[in-house]
Amino acid sequence: MVRDTNPATLRAVSDPSTESPRAGRVTILGRPNVGKSTLLNALVGQTLAIATPRPGTTRSNLLGVHMRKDPPTQIAFVDTPGVGRAQTALHRVLVEQAEASVADVDAVVLLLSAPDCRGADLPPADQGAFALAMSTGRPIVLALNKVDRVKDKEQLLPLLDTVGKRPEFSAIVPISATKGTNLDALVSELRNFLPEGLAYDEDFLTDRPERYFVRELVREAAIRHTREEVPYGVAVLLDEYSTTGDRTHIEATVVVEKESHKKIVVGAGGSMIRTIGTEARKAIETFVGRKVVLKLWVKVVEGWTEDPRKVRELALGENE
């Protein structure tokens, strides 16, 4: 459950640990598909960010708070859209979002995909994210993700040896976000850069309202069932969101950018949109902890990913 609370609330420490409490903000930067959303979910202990095998799924910055008691630590992690080449208005807005995420951070996690690290330097595809991390002027912890997929761990030695010595990086930690490997080590490294004190109520989880997650869960279901260029142009708008008794009524429109995409999303005799609806409803019920009645429509907004105004409205939900 998502609870609103005042992030500025300072709490007394009940933990008898001798180490002083620390809290701060850390942004997770990396190119698309390195595992940023998966890492945020693993650190927060709940699925907040939709993580799919399709690159470019994350559209706006999402904050999730990692809390631990021993030693008392609160880290507000910000998952960002991947930093890659900006070809369309949608891409440009995604890069802007990642750039905005670095304001006021205490440290940065630069996430790489370990299976792609074969030499002694950062792979060329990660240079954009590295440049953004450097622009913050904050300590950078390099996390090599997906180590579970690296059979021959010696493959990583040249990178660990050379990059580990570079002054730009405060630490380098091999991790697996899906298996949870070494996440404690990553948090311990980041803790060193946080100011003293606690910043969040104990049940604070995220800065987003429930409606945001509902839209994202419908979008995730639509992405999972479509391929090629269809997922990139999917957006979701909530038309109705109300709770009576123990039931939440939701009406949402799945927006696509071409008539041909609409045919795919609707499917033969409406079969696909029914499948998407059933999957999304179950995910939303788990998330909100109530019964859900979900109605979905599909609408074409021709070429919306090329129009900056429509991108803000549809991808960031700015008019909601």
Query: Residue 148 or 207: which CB sits closer to ligand GDP?
Result: 148
* Interface with ligand GDP, residue 30, by CB under 6 A: yes
Query: What kind and span of H or E run contains 278?
Result: helix 271-288
Among residue numbers 80 through 119, which ones bind ligand GDP (CB under 6 A)? 82
Q: Read off the tokens for 261.
A: 């995409």
* Nearest-CB residue for ligand GDP: 35
* Interface with ligand GDP, residue 64, by CB under 6 A: no
From 25-33, 136-144, 150-158, 247-255, give the range in contact with ligand GDP by CB under 6 A.
Answer: 25-33
Q: Which of 26, 34, 280, 311 binds ligand GDP (CB under 6 A)?
A: 34
From 26-34, 126-134, 203-211, 276-284, give the range in contact with ligand GDP by CB under 6 A.
Answer: 26-34
Nearest to 66 by CA among 54, 77, 81: 77
Burial per residue of 49-70, b for 16 or more beta-carbon CB atoms within 10 angstroms, e otherwise = bbbbebebbbbbbbbbbbbeee
- DSSP assignment letter at 195: P
* Interface with ligand GDP, residue 148, by CB under 6 A: yes
- Cβ of residue 271: shortest distance to ligand GDP, in angstroms? 25
* Interface with ligand GDP, residue 58, by CB under 6 A: yes
Burial per residue of 191-217, b for 16 or more beta-carbon CB atoms within 10 angstroms, e otherwise = bebbeeebbbbeebbbbbebebbbbbb
Nearest to 187 by CA among 65, 81, 79: 65
Q: Which of 38, 60, 136, 305 binds ligand GDP (CB under 6 A)?
A: 38
Distances from the Cα of 273 to the Cα of 3, 249, 300, 303, angstroms: 31, 17, 14, 21
Q: Count the residues of the shown chain that bind ligand GDP, applying the rule CB under 6 A.
A: 22
From 15-23, 98-106, 121-129, 145-153, give the range in contact with ligand GDP by CB under 6 A.
Answer: 145-153
Interface ranges with ligand GDP (CB under 6 A)? 30, 32-38, 51-53, 55, 57-58, 82, 145-146, 148-149, 176-178
